[in-house]
Amino acid sequence: MARHLLGIEDLSPEQIVGYLDAAERWFEFNRSGDRKASVLRGKTIINLFYEASTRTRTSFEAAGKRLSADVINVSSSGSSVTKGETLRDTARNLQAMRPDVIVLRHQVSGAPHYLARHLHCSIVNAGDGLHEHPTQGLLDAFTIRRMKGKIAGLTVAVIGDVQHSRVARSDAHLLRKLGAHVRFCAPWTLMPKGAEALGVEVVTNLDAALEGADVVIMLRIQRERLVDAMLPSTREYSRTFGLSQRTLARAKKDAIVMHPGPMNRGVEIDDAVADGIQSAVLDQVEAGVAVRMAVLESVAAG
């Protein structure tokens, strides 16, 4: 198995299915009474997070602990990063403590690849800038496969701030590799240039994106990354690109609605949809722990 998980782009369909199948076993395990396995006993995992996170960080922590690893959480706000230490120095100091895995979230695209080149331990990318968020891609695919029974042949609409979304990129790579048809939908100011090169269909109209979709993935407007007037107003955005019961009716009747979180209710998604019967948002979160157990087990063993 691979020593690192840096992105979906470099994985083969077989490697992806390998992770999903392993996650399936951990998913059932997590639903059992005893959620402690000894596979990573004696291993140390450091979660090094330079950006805010609730789901991803907790999920990696729960995953490591359920596998009996020692898990240490470092967030930039309470660390020497605030004193001006570079990523390289922080990482080299952490490495001196002999961890087996560093899980990194960083605002710079390529930061985990940089650590993978310079450190001896395994690196798992928990989101790098605008680039990739591979475990989110895997948990999204896991959720779709579980709820739809397959991925190949499905139409998946990814809607919102695609420009700033590492989730959109990882999802597109993964779902395309497994044979889904992927549509990106955003106002043109929030659509990355050359998005077609990812093999996706590009649309700038919500109805066109939803038409016949089996899966609808909504994205948050990443205000912290917006540089200038990329958006007219929240109200205008919500009116044209927000998902409501009314607009969702364009998708297939049995379509599922997903969101990586955090949701901005009333902006990209209405309460009625977020909490409705088609919502798979909390299924994604449950899948996240199982997927991260599969990933940590695999990289720590490799």
Q: Which residues would be at the binding site for ligand NCD (CB under 6 A)?
A: 55-56, 127, 133, 136, 166-167, 220, 222, 260-261
Single out the residue of 283, 291, 286 nearest to residue 23, CA to CA.
291
Write down the least CB distance from residue 10 to ligand NCD, Å.
19
| Dist. CA 287–CA 203, nearest whole Å | 29
Comparing CB distances to ligand NCD, the nearer of 43 and 171 is 171
For the CA atoms of 286, 288, 292, 293, what is the dihedral angle to 10 degrees? 10
The least CB distance from residue 223 to ligand NCD, in Å, is 10
Q: How far is the CB of 161 from ligand NCD (least distance, A)?
A: 8
Nearer to ligand NCD, 133 or 145 (CB): 133
Length of the chain as a residue count: 302
The residue among 57 and 66 lying less far from ligand NCD, judged by its C-beta, is: 57
Question: Nearer to ligand NCD by C-beta: 136 or 155?
Answer: 136
Rounded Cα–Cα distance for residues 98 and 134 (Å): 24
Strand partners, 106: 128
> For residues 44 and 171, which CB has a smaller minimum distance to ligand NCD in the complex?
171
- Shortest distance, CB of residue 285 to ligand NCD, whole angstroms? 9
Q: Exposure of 152 by Cβ count < 10 A (0-12 exposed, 13-18 middle, 19+ buried)? A: exposed
Q: How far lies 293's CA from each of 37, 216, 242, 269, in Å?
A: 10, 26, 34, 30
- E strand or H helix at 202: strand 201-203
Q: Which residue has the tokens 């109209």?
A: 205
Provide the minimum distance between the beta carbon of 167 and ligand NCD in the complex, in angstroms, as a whole number.
Answer: 5
The token duo for 48 is 């090094």
CB of 54 to ligand NCD, least distance (A): 8
Q: Which of residues 44 and 163 has its CB atom nearest to ligand NCD in the complex?
A: 163
